[in-house]
């Protein structure tokens, strides 16, 4: 068995063991309704984390996802409350997300700025832009037809399964296909593995960078659309700190922060571990003071276990 496969197995085993422990502690954990609940809650973080995986595979990082989520959510809510069709509003929100990512990508590849700094800039500017745009107050949707339809994206069900879960699965299927079956996917890994070599072998490095940040931005916007639909309201402070949850999911999934190694399947497992953890702490009614300690500890254990493997 090759090493990569073993690594993949390891996260899955970790996930199963962790779920077993939680289900022993709380009999309510392993119920159909709670599992659907966890999946729906995880969908937001995992959609963001899917985009983050592309970025981290190239050896970059995207800190702007939380702000992008808030901004695009607000834009979407604004257009829908102004009477625009749901399809158009969502498309515009996703396009803005991609543009924001493209902008970060341009600063990084043309301006030769480190990804951490470049996306820190976009993160700060966009949070400010969101506050200006919303005037610091939530944009709440009414009960008109378009708002009702829109809220289905976050709160609706199809065949008993929440819509956001379908979106999450779709995103991961596409991401898996792109990363494993297409030339772009191979370039992403190559760039993260060795940027100099990629350049010398004639890869258009800046084009790949622009694409991964655009993908990350667009998926953050999608997450923003889902959250806004779920709450029927866009909040200017939405998504604060989400970049860290997404990075944690990618790292828990075994992707190296140095780039070049990792998998999209690992990311979904990482996101599930984080989602189950939050769910379990609530189910068990753990005091809020201890929750943060527990979260840190779980991430530490998972990362250390992964280290030993390598």
Cα–Cα distance list, 227 to 71, 221, 230, 232 (Å): 12, 10, 5, 8
- Least distance CB 91 / other proteins (angstroms): 23
> Is residue 23 a contact residue for other proteins (CB under 8 A)?
no
Q: What are phi and psi of 114, to 5 degrees?
A: -60, 140
- Least distance CB 148 / other proteins (angstroms): 13
- CB contact at 8 A, 233 and 139: yes
Question: Residue from 279, 298, 302, 306 that binds other proteins (CB under 8 A)?
Answer: 279
DSSP state of 259: S
User: Among residues 92 and 155, whose Cβ is nearest to other proteins?
Assistant: 155
> Is residue 222 a contact residue for other proteins (CB under 8 A)?
no
Query: Could you give the count of Cα atoms lying within 13 Å of 244 in the half-sphere of its Cβ?
Result: 5
Question: Residue from 82, 137, 145, 308 that binds other proteins (CB under 8 A)?
Answer: 137
User: Among residues 224 and 266, whose Cβ is nearest to other proteins?
Assistant: 224
> Is residue 147 a contact residue for other proteins (CB under 8 A)?
no
Q: What are phi and psi of 2, to 5 degrees?
A: -80, 165
- CB contact at 8 A, 73 and 242: no
Question: Residue from 85, 91, 114, 140 that binds other proteins (CB under 8 A)?
Answer: 140
Instruction: List CB contacts of 83: < 8 A, sequence separation 6 or more.
Output: 146
Question: Residue from 1, 2, 288, 307 that binds other proteins (CB under 8 A)?
Answer: 288
Question: Residue from 3, 4, 28, 207 that binds other proteins (CB under 8 A)?
Answer: 28
DSSP string computed for 100-148: HHHHHHHHHHTS---HHHHHHHHHHHHHHHHHHHHTTS-EE--SSHHHH
- Least distance CB 281 / other proteins (angstroms): 8
> Is residue 230 a contact residue for other proteins (CB under 8 A)?
yes
User: Among residues 197 and 244, whose Cβ is nearest to other proteins?
Assistant: 244
Question: Residue from 1, 82, 111, 308 that binds other proteins (CB under 8 A)?
Answer: 111
- CB contact at 8 A, 224 and 53: no
Question: Residue from 8, 12, 23, 37 that binds other proteins (CB under 8 A)?
Answer: 37
Closest CA to 61 of 73, 72, 49, 71: 49
> Is residue 231 a contact residue for other proteins (CB under 8 A)?
yes
User: Among residues 101 and 236, whose Cβ is nearest to other proteins?
Assistant: 236
> Is residue 289 a contact residue for other proteins (CB under 8 A)?
yes
Category of 163 on φ-ψ map: left (φ > 0), alpha (ψ -120 to 50) or beta: alpha
- Least distance CB 150 / other proteins (angstroms): 14
> Is residue 296 a contact residue for other proteins (CB under 8 A)?
no
> Is residue 206 a contact residue for other proteins (CB under 8 A)?
no
User: Among residues 248 and 265, whose Cβ is nearest to other proteins?
Assistant: 248
> Is residue 194 a contact residue for other proteins (CB under 8 A)?
no
Instruction: List CB contacts of 273: < 8 A, sequence separation 6 or more.
Output: 11, 14, 15, 18, 249, 252, 298, 302
| Sites of contact with other proteins (CB under 8 A) | 26, 28-29, 31, 33-34, 37, 40-41, 111, 131, 135-138, 140, 155, 227, 230-233, 235-238, 278-279, 282-285, 287-289, 291
């Amino acid at each position: 068995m090759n090493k990569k496969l073993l690594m993949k197995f390891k996260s899955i085993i970790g996930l199963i063991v962790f779920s077993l422990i939680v289900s022993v502690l709380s009999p309510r954990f392993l119920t159909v309704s709670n599992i659907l609940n966890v999946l729906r809650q995880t969908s937001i973080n995992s959609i963001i984390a899917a985009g983050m995986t592309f970025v981290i595979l190239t050896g970059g990082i995207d800190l702007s996802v939380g702000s992008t989520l808030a901004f695009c959510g607000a834009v979407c809510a604004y257009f829908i409350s102004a009477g625009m069709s749901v399809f158009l509003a969502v498309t515009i929100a996703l396009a803005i997300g991609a543009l924001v990512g493209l902008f970060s990508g341009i600063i990084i590849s043309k301006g030769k700025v480190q990804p951490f700094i470049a996306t820190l800039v976009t993160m700060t500017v966009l949070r400010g832009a969101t506050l200006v745009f919303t005037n610091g107050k939530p944009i709440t949707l009414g009960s008109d037809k378009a708002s009702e339809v829109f809220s289905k994206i976050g709160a609706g069900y199809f065949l008993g399964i929440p819509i956001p879960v379908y979106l999450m699965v779709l995103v991961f299927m596409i991401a898996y296909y792109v990363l494993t079956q297409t030339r772009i996917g191979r370039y992403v890994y190559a760039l993260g593995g060795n940027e100099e070599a990629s350049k010398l072998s004639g890869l258009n490095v800046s084009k790949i960078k622009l694409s991964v940040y655009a993908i990350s931005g667009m998926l953050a916007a999608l997450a923003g659309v889902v959250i806004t639909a779920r709450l029927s309201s866009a909040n200017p402070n939405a998504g604060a700190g989400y970049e860290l949850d997404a990075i944690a999911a990618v790292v828990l999934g075994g992707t190296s922060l140095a780039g070049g190694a990792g998998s999209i399947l690992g990311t979904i497992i990482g996101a599930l571990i984080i989602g189950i953890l939050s769910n379990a702490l609530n189910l068990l009614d753990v005091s809020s003071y201890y929750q943060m300690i527990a979260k840190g500890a779980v991430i530490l254990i998972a990362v250390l276990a992964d280290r030993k493997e390598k």
